[in-house]
Amino acid sequence: MATSPPSIPEISARAQTFAELFKLPLAHQVWRGQVGDFQGAGVGSSLDFQDHRSYMPGDDPRHINWQAYARTGNYSMKLYREEVRPSLDVVLDISESMKVTESKWIRALELFYFTIHAALKASASLSVSVVKGNEYLHFQSDMIHGSTWLEKAGQLSPTPAAASPDLGQVPLRAQSMRILISDLLFSDNPETVLVALTRDRGRGILLAPFIAEEEHPLWDGNYDFVEAEAGTHHHHRIERHLLKRYYSAYQRHFDLWKNLARKHGLLMARIPSEPDFQSSLQYEALPSKAIEF
Amino acid sequence: MPFTFANPLGFWALLGIPAIILIHFLQQKSTVVHISTLFLLDHLQHQSVKGNQFDRLRSSIPLWLQLLAILLLTWILVQPRWMKANAIQRIAIVLDSSASMETFRDNLYKELNTELRRLASSVSHTEYVVVDSHLSKQPVFNGTSRAQLIQALETWKPLSTAHDFTPALRIARSLVGAEGTLIMVSDHLIEDLAYDAQLLAIGQPTPNVGFAGVRMITRDDGQMLWKVLVRNYSDQQQKRSWFLHTDAQKSSPRPIELAPSQTRSLQGAFPDDSDSFTLRIENDAFALDDQMPLIRPEKKQVTLAPKLTPEIQPLLQPVLESLDQTSPPAPEQIADLFIAVYKPLDPAPLDKGHGIVFLDRSILPANYLQGQIYAEHHPLLENLNWQGLLARSSAGLPLLDTDTPLLWQHDRTLIFLRPDDRGTKLIFNFDLASSNAAHLPAFVVTIHRFVESVRRKKIAPSQLNFEITQVIDLAFDQSDNAPPLTLSTTINQETLSQDIPDRAARLRAPEQPGFFAISQGDTGSPLVSGAAHFADTREADLQQAASRNDLNKSETDLIDQYTEQDAQWQMWILILCACLLTSWYFVTRPTTLNAT
């Protein structure tokens, strides 16, 4: 379904406001990398005391605990926690199914910009990619705030119906936090996506925007379904019993995703598109701690 | 057990099936929806992924319920009726044997076959009997096969004139009983048929031109002329051609044009070389009156032997001269009819044989006879007025027991018949010369009639023109040892001879136009040579022919009579109501489902 291009600056500004209220769960992870605001995995030069140990040749003499030396006559070293910048790789699925309705697409962009602003607020090292089937684009963080990236992303080739994004090609930094914003409506096994998302000891969050028409359609009768991605027409007659089975299939599909995400240590939250942003986060994102206050 | 439908019009209800399917097609028009979860649907519904219209309708419960309701409604409306076991339907058909029916023979086969098939469809076993309305023949058909019935009709020939159908209807009704079906087949409309007969009229207005009559004229020079009438039985102008032909030659066709309902006459002299010929007019739908066989008429010669007194001779001479085809007998020949005078005062035995006897005036009677004059019912005096007769009282012949009185005045027999073993005498038992009888028309006519009766009884050759099936008053040898009569007919130049088995039966002219002769033994000349022509203008006029079928009522009665209604009809109505209610439920039930 063709949707009118959303106003990126507006959405970005709105998402920046959301980032003041909510944050990504970056604090629960031990990071390595450049100096930053988050506790690192190794010993650093922050003010946070971590441990004592005996002096070893080569240690920085500035960290010798002179008070202890005065009491004991032995050199001991004070160890302080390392503070590093978290690495955040944001991947946005821009397949046509994400744009099936304007509300869904706007909600996806809101999540996208929310993660960006939340990352920037946390001084995280940000990497942004958009993916569509087998193709992807990687953007510098300064390009994201304009609408240029959207135009470039629109030039990616169409994908087959219900094709899953090929995350294996998307550059994901080792041990980074990966956030995939996608409706997860793929017919392939979720394992493919999840394995690719957690490669190189990465952690991640799945944010899946959805609309009520997908979860709870009120079909009754004959329908000429237009597949959002391939644009093909499919005639179906929807009877009551078939609609019931669709509800069950939809439920099973996302139950599978949640179970496999849990297995791979990923957080997953489905975000409804119809309510406002704050309300939509209360649906699953906040309870699952995929997004925090 | 076979069944039939009392109301076939109920099948129109089946039109509801395409109507309902059409309505469902219109209702089931697809809604276009953009969808991102099609793979979930495809997994659920492997069949009919593209889904044609019929596939979609196939799963519609209301559709199937409504179609079932239509079928049930049709079943109820057509009123199926099951035939009773051992029911026998009897159908009697009276065929109008009027000649005009021949024109519509094809319609007869077609309509009768159609109607009988329809009537027979209501009953398992049907018996047919077909009779001719003229009742002059054996039944046309009696059996159970409709095909054989139609085949039997091909040999049936309607050649009669207009007649009363009531006797035939009475007999036909008696053959099939009160519960049987009686069908009167005619080519025109008949209202209020007797014996509960149903009319099947198969005619249609048809133009016809044909000969309507003939008259022979003898000119003063003795030459004989024929004069025939040609009539146009239609309301449109008609053109035809006509010609004359004998055995030897044929005239060139001549056109004749007749205005609507016009009658024209054709006249000509008899050919010199032939005593018979045939006039023909261009053929049309009614063929019987398209030919006019004619023969030069020649009556039997009657020989007269008058023995009159001078007083009576002048009175009778004009009468005797007016008699046709009479002549004096040859020498040594006995006259066919003698005319004599009887003298009461000098009585002598009367001669035997046919004769006319008058009283002789020996003494002039003084007084007139008094009293009322009245005539007996007898063909010789029929419709004659004798009231003006003035006769004097004179001596007369005494009346014998064997005499047949014809005319009375008080107690005096004025005219009577006296038979003997050789003939009959007509006796005028009053003094003719002193009466005014010679001035009365009744007197002349009575003598002419008596002479003609003698002529009819004479066994001698004659040539006459007849209408078809006309009764022939033929005198022939009726003794036990007499040879049989032989009828020879020449119709369309084909001659057929056959003996007449029953000499006591009435002799009739042939049923079809043509020449014929009746002879007895090898006497040389036939007793009568005739030409038969059709001249019934009522039958030739086909403008009133019409079609009408009154058998619909009969079919309804037959179904009621020979079948019984479907005992389950109440159950079908209940099922119909259940279908409609269930369909209504499926159509109007809420479609919202709660997602789990």
pLDDT digits (tens, 9 = 90+) for B193-206: 899 899 999 999 99
* Predicted confidence (pLDDT) at residue B293 exceeds the cutoff of 80: yes
Cβ of A216 within 8 Å of Cβ of B595? The answer is yes
Q: Is the same domain home to B111 and B66?
A: no
Predicted local confidence at residue A239, as pLDDT: 78
Both B429 and B484 in a single domain? no
Look up tokens 């009877």; give the residue. Answer: A239
- Does a structural domain hold residue B538? no
Name the minimum distance, in Å, from the CA of A98 to any CA of chain B. Answer: 8
Q: Measured between alpha carbons, how far is B65 from B218 in angstroms, rounded to an integer? A: 91
**Residues on chain B touching A226 (C-beta within 8 angstroms):** 32-35
User: What amino acid is encoded at B82 in this protein?
Assistant: W
CATH number of residue B328's parent domain: 3.40.50.880
Q: What is the tally of structural domains in chain B? A: 4
Chain A residue at shortest CA distance from B32: A224
Tell me if A234 and B591 make a contact (CB, 8 A cut-off). Answer: no
- Report pLDDT digits (tens) over B309-343: 888 888 899 999 899 889 999 888 889 999 999 88
Estimate to the nearest angstrom the gap between the alpha carbon of B578 and the chain centroid: 61
Per-residue pLDDT, averaged over B421-444, amounts to 92
| Mean pLDDT over each residue of chain A, to the nearest integer | 85
Mean pLDDT score, B251-255: 91
Q: Are residues B93 and B112 in the same domain?
A: yes
**B51 in any annotated domain:** yes
Residues of chain A with C-beta less than 8 angstroms from the C-beta of B35: 100, 214, 225-228
User: Which among B40, B45, B49 is the nearest to A253, CB-wise?
Assistant: B40
Q: Give B-chain residues touching A244 at CB under 8 angstroms.
A: 593
Give the span between the Cα atoms of B156 and B137, in whole angstroms: 10
The answer to whether residue A185 neighbours chain B at the CB level (below 8 Å) is: yes
Average pLDDT over residues B162-175: 90
Whether residues B26 and B147 share a domain: the answer is: no
Phi, psi (rounded to 5 degrees) for B62: -60, -35
B362 lies in some domain: yes
Residue B212 located in a structural domain: no
Give me the CATH number covering residue B489: 2.60.40
Q: Which of A183, A218, A229 sits opposite B591 (nearest CB)?
A: A218
Q: Which domains does chain A have, with CATH numbers?
A: 8-29+86-283 (3.40.50), 35-84 (no CATH)
A120 contacts chain B (CB < 8 A): no
How far is Cα A134 from Cα B50, in angstroms, rounded to an integer? Answer: 28
Do B55 and A237 make contact, defined as CB atoms within 8 angstroms? yes
Residues B129 and B159 in one domain: yes
Residues from chain B contacting residue A243 (CB–CB below 8 Å): 593
* Torsion sign over Cα B92, B98, B99, B102: negative
Q: Is B245 among the domain residues?
A: no
The mean pLDDT value for A96-103 works out to 91
What residues make up the domain containing B488? 462-533
What is the overall mean pLDDT for chain B?
Answer: 86
Q: Is the Cβ pair A239, B59 closer than 8 Å?
A: yes
b/e map B521-534, b = 16+ CB within 10 Å: eeeeebbbbbbbbb
In this complex, is the C-beta atom of A226 within 8 Å of any C-beta atom belonging to chain B?
Answer: yes
- Is B474 domain-assigned? yes
Q: Over the range A85-123, which residues count as b (16 or more CB within 10 Å of their CB) and which as e?
A: bbbbbbbbbbbbbbbbbbbbbbbbbbbbbbbbbbbbebe
Closest-CA distance, B26 to chain A, in angstroms, reads 11
Does the pLDDT of residue B216 top 80, yes or no?
Answer: yes
pLDDT at residue A84 is higher than 90:
no
Inter-chain CB pairs, A–B, below 8 Å? 108
Written as six digits, the tokens of B200 are: 């099947």
- Same domain? For B420 and B513 the reply is no
Interchain proximity B38–A161, CB inside 8 Å: yes
Instruction: Tell me how far apart the terminal alpha carbons of chain A are, to the nearest angstrom.
Output: 34
Tokens encoding B195 = 């014996």
A23 in Cβ contact with A37 (< 8 Å): no
B448 and B466 share one domain: no
User: Phi/psi zone of residue B238: left (φ > 0), alpha (ψ -120 to 50 degrees), beta?
Assistant: beta
**Given an 8 Å threshold on Cβ–Cβ distance, is B51 in contact with A236?**
yes
Q: Return d(Cα B141, Cα B132) in angstroms, integer.
A: 10
| From B35, B39, B56, residue closest to A237, measured CB to CB | B56
**B79-B198-B150 Cα angle (round to 5):** 90
* Tens digit of each residue's pLDDT (9 = 90 or more) over B82-103: 877 777 888 999 999 888 998 9
In DSSP terms, B326 is beta-bridged to B302
0.80 exceeded by pTM: no
Q: Do B59 and A183 touch (CB under 8 A)?
A: no
Chain B positions contacting chain A at CB under 8 Å are 27-45, 48-52, 55-56, 59, 591-593, 595-596
Q: Regarding predicted confidence, which is higher, A48 or B500?
A: B500
Q: Nearest-CA residue of chain A relative to B54?
A: A237
User: How close B66 comes to chain A (CA, Å)?
Assistant: 17
Determine how β-strand B326-327 pairs with β-strand B276-281: unpaired
Number of Cβ within a 10 Å radius of residue B243 = 14
- What φ, ψ does residue B20 adopt, rounded to 5°? -70, -40
CA separation (Å) from A117 to A126, A139, A141, A271, B28? 10, 15, 10, 18, 49
Distance CA B313, CA A137 (A): 157
A3 touches chain B (CB under 8 A): no
Sequence-distant (≥ 6) Cβ neighbours of residue A137 within 8 angstroms: A129, A130, A149, A152, A153, A156
Q: Which member of B38, B43, B596 has the closest CB to residue A234?
A: B38
- Are B162 and B130 members of one domain? yes
Give the pLDDT mean for B521-525.
76
Flag whether residue A188 sits within 8 Å of chain B, measured between CB atoms. Answer: no
In chain A, residues with a C-beta closer than 8 Å to the C-beta of B587 are none
Range of lowest pLDDT (A81-90, A93-102, B38-47, B297-306): B38-47
A237 contact B CB<8A: yes
Q: Does the pLDDT of residue B407 top 60, yes or no?
A: yes
Which is more confidently placed, B345 or A48? B345
Domain assignment of residue B292, yes or no: no
Per-residue pLDDT at B50: 47
- A161 interfaces chain B, CB cutoff of 8 Å: yes
> Over 50: is that where the pLDDT of B596 sits?
no
Residue B125 in domain: yes
pLDDT of residue B554: 60
A2 at interface of B, judged by CB pairs closer than 8 A:
no
Contact between chains at B37 and A250 (C-beta distance less than 8 A): yes
- CA dihedral defined by B60, B62, B64, B70, rounded to 10 degrees? -150
Q: Is any Cβ of chain B less than 8 angstroms from the Cβ of A223?
A: yes
When pLDDT is cut at 50, 70 and 90, the band that residue A2 belongs to is: very low
* Residue A249 contacts B, CB cutoff 8 Å: yes
Q: What is the mean pLDDT of residues B137-156?
A: 88
Helix B105-120 / helix B551-562 crossing angle, nearest 10 deg: 20
Mutate to test the interface with B, among A95, A235, A257 (most CBs of B within 10 A): A235
Token look-up 């009185």 returns B405
Give the model's pLDDT for residue A45.
Answer: 57
Looking at the partner chain, which of B27, B39, B50 has a beta carbon nearest the beta carbon of A235? B50
Q: Are B56 and A183 in contact (CB < 8 Å)?
A: no
Alpha-carbon dihedral sign for residues A132, A136, A141, A147 = negative
Residue B209 has pLDDT above 90, yes or no: yes
Residues of A in Cβ contact (< 8 Å) with B31: 221-224
CATH number, domain at B184?
A: 3.40.50.410
Is pLDDT at A82 greater than 70 in this prediction? no
Domain end among B424, B453, B482: B453
Q: Tell me which DSSP letter residue B150 carries.
A: H
- Are B354 and B407 part of one and the same domain? yes
Q: Is the pLDDT of residue B595 over 50?
A: no
Q: Where are the alpha helices (DSSP H) in B98-252?
A: 105-120, 146-153, 166-176
**In the numeric block, which tokens belong to residue A130?**
């958009």
Q: Which of B26, B31, B38 to mutate to test the interface with A (most CBs of A within 10 A)?
A: B38
CA angle B332, B333, B336 (to 5 degrees): 155
A227, A244, A253 member nearest B35 (Cβ): A227
pLDDT digits 0-9 by tens, B36-53: 888 888 777 654 444 455
Tokens describing residue B94: 């009276």
B180 and B126 part of one domain: yes
E strands in B420-542: 424-431, 462-467, 471-472, 485-491, 494-500, 507-508, 514-520, 528-533
Q: Which residue of B has its CA nearest to A161?
A: B39
Q: How far apart are CA B436 and CA B373, in angstroms?
A: 14
Q: Is B240 helix (H, G, I), strand (E, B) or coil?
A: strand
CB atoms A246 and B34 under 8 Å: no
Q: What is the average per-residue pLDDT within B566-589?
A: 88
B72 and B152 part of one domain: no
How would residue A140 be classed by pLDDT, with cut points 50, 70 and 90?
confident
pLDDT digits (tens, 9 = 90+) for A54-63: 888 877 787 7
| ipTM > 0.85 (yes/no) | no
Measured between CA atoms, how close is A176 to chain B, in angstroms? Answer: 30
Which chain B residue shows the shortest CA-CA distance from A232? B34
**What tens digit of pLDDT does each residue of B110-132 get?**
999 998 888 887 777 889 999 99
**Which residues of A are less than 8 Å from B591 in CB distance?**
218, 220, 240
What CA–CA distance (Å, rounded) separates A198 from A167? Answer: 10
Give the pLDDT confidence of A190-221 residue by residue, as tens digits: 999 999 999 888 888 999 999 999 999 988 77
**B17 shares its domain with B67:** yes
pLDDT at position B45? 65
